[in-house]
Amino acid sequence: MSDTPSSPSPARDPSGSLLGKTTSYRATYAPELLYPISRTPKREEIGLSAERIAAGRLPFMGADLWTAYELSWLTPRGKPQVAIATITVPCDSPCIIESKSFKLYLNSFNMTRVESPERLREMLVHDLSAAAGARVGVRLVLPEAFDAQPIHELSGVLLDRMDIDCDRYGPPAPELLTAAFDEQPVTETLTSHLLKSNCLVTGQPDWGSVQISYTGPQIDQEGLLRYLISFREHDEFHEQCVERIFTDILERCQPVRLQVYARYTRRGGLDISPWRTSHPATLPANVRTARQ
């Protein structure tokens, strides 16, 4: 089996996914459970044309970092095995993978005999790449390395220290973003643990921490925190929220360099941490925070 998908799975509408629906779990290998959703419609909402998207002219680079904590399979002799999987989906892939379908797919390995962890990794790379429409990276952390998995908070100046009045909880309010265009540019990193939005399909709350690193006119911190809080009743997938934050800051505050990295708490044994950057940069460490 080749690691590179020959024909990507067709993208589907979010409303047709299994989110919010009673589902029977499959315990044997079922890659057809993966449900790809096109990135294009939501990117068009933030001002990126379909032509620009198709040409690869995005204002950002980056990836979606997934961590799967509930991965298990059988050896050829039937003994269960466990691992943690870290998955890297490039942001220029045509599709995201809907999270419940991802969970169901991973659970389909529960009673599947696989000859080795490396063979399992190859199967994951092949199937997830086919769903996303681009090469996906997979790393397995086996039990002997579990104690080396650190917990570390996002670095930066904590916006949440400010005692501010808030009254905007949705839709997102980019007009709250301002910057000191008449002063010298700065380089700084700002963080908040108050990012919260809702699942686009089910309305379930999604909780996250966000780190914003930039060089440019100094961003007004109170306005930025109010802006992040304005996502509180907004319905959108994690990846889409981060791209909206990135493009709103880029447009309103005009930094010359910008990175936005959000780490969301896990659900169903999976967490998603989207990262977007305006310039080539090293992928951030996929390190758990306390809430993950």
The residues annotated with a catalytic role in the active site are 199, 206
> Do residues 152 and 289 lie in contact, with contact meaning Cβ atoms separated by under 8 Å?
yes
DSSP 197: E
Q: How many helices (H) and strands (E) does the chain have?
A: 6, 12
CA angle 65, 235, 93 (to 5 degrees): 35
Q: ω into residue 171 within 30 of 0, thus cis? A: yes
What's the rounded Cα separation, in Å, for the pair 212 and 259? 6
Does residue 275 sit in helix, strand or coil?
A: strand
Residue recorded with tokens 């933030």: 46
> Do residues 58 and 92 lie in contact, with contact meaning Cβ atoms separated by under 8 Å?
yes
DSSP 81: E
Written as six digits, the tokens of 292 are 């993950």
CA angle 117, 138, 63 (to 5 degrees): 170
Can you say how many angstroms the Cα of residue 249 is from the centroid of all Cα atoms in its chain?
Answer: 18
> Do residues 213 and 174 lie in contact, with contact meaning Cβ atoms separated by under 8 Å?
no
Written as six digits, the tokens of 175 are 């007009």
Q: Which of 45, 38, 43, 78 is nearest to 58 (CA)?
A: 43
* Other residues' Cβ atoms within 10 Å of the Cβ of residue 10: 11
